[in-house]
């Protein structure tokens, strides 16, 4: 399939072009014309000739940029139009090429809400499960983000992807191979990682943690572990440079660390269930010393235990747990 001068090599795709989504791109607020970054920070760092990493401040979401002679591929859209405008301003300091594709790694509002600033003229791409989640809970997640950010997030309609895929999609743009890996349910109800095989770079987004305790609220810890194994299988082994959706860059050890963290919670929660502890008792009792130095450990461990408790209790009864109200 060819979009513009970009070739898409499709492996087991259920390809779908979504015309309705394109209409939403007409909503572009005036704030994107601002030339002065709200933060005043320079956060876009060159990682290789092809890849730049944008690290959100104070744990705000990260993004990535793949620079090719055929245009740019942007990974994740930031949490507001203003934040995305800052990001775009920094992109313009390293390249004046058009954004050809904007990839959403998952549906959480802090990763997609700034798309109005980035998606003009670009094709927005996401996995089918991410699109389903945006359609089902997009509004609810935006409202939750607004509440958490004291209304700094936008009230614009979400930009829904125009192109969806399942399992795996190989994009060749300007001679650069970009592989989209649909890792399935894990941190969210559908997580995608972006792999640059020639650069040894994997943007694993919220599937992977480095220096921050992960957000485990609408996650499935069991499927998250399977998703991490799928990532390793799809990349054909360890990847030198791994980038999370929040916090510091990492390496292949970050994937192993995230696996150990999830396994530790499941082990502790399983023991609590066997001992007959209530959710509240488990949340009070469980500590994970190996991970206590991670940012947000104290704040995020109790809800993570609560979520995994709910999940493992449902596993015992053969019931899939429902959504949580909150999501990062």
Residues lying near Zn ion in the complex (CB under 5 A) are found at 108, 206, 328
The backbone torsions φ and ψ at residue 129, rounded to the nearest 5 degrees and listed phi first, read -70, -35
To Zn ion, the closest distance from the beta carbon of 217 in angstroms equals 9
Q: Which of 111, 105, 125 is CA-nearest to residue 190?
A: 105
To Zn ion, the closest distance from the beta carbon of 184 in angstroms equals 15
Q: Which of 303, 228, 229, 250 is CA-nearest to residue 55?
A: 250
To Zn ion, the closest distance from the beta carbon of 268 in angstroms equals 23
In the complex with Zn ion, which residue's Cβ is closer, 216 or 282? 216
In the complex with Zn ion, which residue's Cβ is closer, 195 or 215? 215
To Zn ion, the closest distance from the beta carbon of 23 in angstroms equals 26
To Zn ion, the closest distance from the beta carbon of 322 in angstroms equals 18
In the complex with Zn ion, which residue's Cβ is closer, 206 or 311? 206
Name 247's Cβ contacts closer than 8 Å, sequence gap at least 6: 55, 59, 62, 209, 210, 211, 212, 295
In the complex with Zn ion, which residue's Cβ is closer, 133 or 328? 328
How far apart (Å, rounded) are the C-alpha atoms in residues 17 and 161? 9
In the complex with Zn ion, which residue's Cβ is closer, 104 or 309? 104
3-class secondary structure, 62 = coil
In the complex with Zn ion, which residue's Cβ is closer, 68 or 209? 209
Residue 221 Cα distances to 12, 159, 186, 217, 226, angstroms: 26, 28, 6, 10, 9
Q: Which of 309, 191, 307, 209 is CA-nearest to residue 261?
A: 209
How far apart (Å, rounded) are the C-alpha atoms in residues 58 and 63? 14
To Zn ion, the closest distance from the beta carbon of 124 in angstroms equals 17
To Zn ion, the closest distance from the beta carbon of 127 in angstroms equals 14
To Zn ion, the closest distance from the beta carbon of 328 in angstroms equals 4
| β-bridge partners, 250 | 242
In the complex with Zn ion, which residue's Cβ is closer, 133 or 206? 206
Q: How many CA atoms lie within 13 A of 54 on its CB side?
A: 27
To Zn ion, the closest distance from the beta carbon of 232 in angstroms equals 20
In the complex with Zn ion, which residue's Cβ is closer, 70 or 214? 214
For residues 217, 242, 81 and 22, what is the CA-based torsion angle, rounded to 10 degrees? -90
Residue 249 Cα distances to 63, 124, 197, 240, 294, angstroms: 11, 25, 17, 11, 14
In the complex with Zn ion, which residue's Cβ is closer, 173 or 227? 227
Q: Which of 94, 7, 78, 75 is CA-nearest to residue 38?
A: 78
The number of beta carbons lying within 10 Å of the beta carbon of residue 98 is 12
| β-bridge partners, 170 | 9, 179
């Amino acid at each position: 399939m060819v979009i513009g001068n970009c070739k898409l090599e499709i492996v087991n795709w259920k390809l779908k072009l979504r015309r309705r989504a394109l209409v939403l791109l007409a909503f572009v607020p005036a704030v994107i014309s601002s030339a002065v970054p709200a933060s005043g920070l320079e956060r876009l760092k060159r990682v290789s000739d092809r890849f730049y990493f944008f690290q959100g401040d104070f744990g705000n979401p990260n993004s990535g940029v793949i620079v090719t002679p055929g245009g740019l591929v942007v990974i994740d859209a930031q949490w507001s139009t203003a934040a995305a405008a800052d990001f775009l301003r920094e992109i313009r300091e390293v390249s004046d090429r058009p954004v050809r594709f904007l990839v959403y790694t998952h549906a959480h509002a802090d990763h997609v809400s700034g798309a109005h600033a980035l998606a003009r003229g670009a094709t927005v791409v996401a996995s089918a499960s991410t699109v389903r989640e945006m359609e089902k809970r997009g509004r609810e997640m935006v409202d939750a983000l607004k509440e958490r950010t004291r209304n700094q997030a936008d009230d614009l309609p979400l930009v829904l992807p125009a192109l969806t895929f399942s399992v795996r999609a190989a994009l060749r743009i300007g001679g650069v191979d970009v592989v989209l890996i649909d890792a399935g349910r894990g941190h969210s109800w559908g997580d995608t990682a972006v792999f640059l095989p020639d650069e040894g770079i994997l943007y694993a987004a919220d599937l992977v943690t480095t220096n921050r305790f992960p957000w485990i609220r609408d996650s499935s810890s069991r499927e998250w572990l399977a998703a991490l194994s799928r990532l390793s299988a799809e990349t054909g082994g360890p990847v030198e440079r791994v980038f999370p959706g929040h916090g510091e860059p990492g390496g292949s050890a970050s994937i192993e660390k995230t696996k150990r963290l999830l396994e530790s919670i499941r082990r502790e929660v399983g023991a609590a269930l066997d001992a007959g502890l209530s959710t509240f008792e488990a949340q009070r009792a469980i500590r994970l010393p190996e991970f206590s130095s991670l940012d947000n450990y104290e704040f995020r461990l109790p809800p993570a235990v609560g979520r995994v408790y709910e999940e493992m209790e449902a596993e015992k009864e053969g019931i899939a747990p429902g959504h949580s109200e909150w999501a990062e």
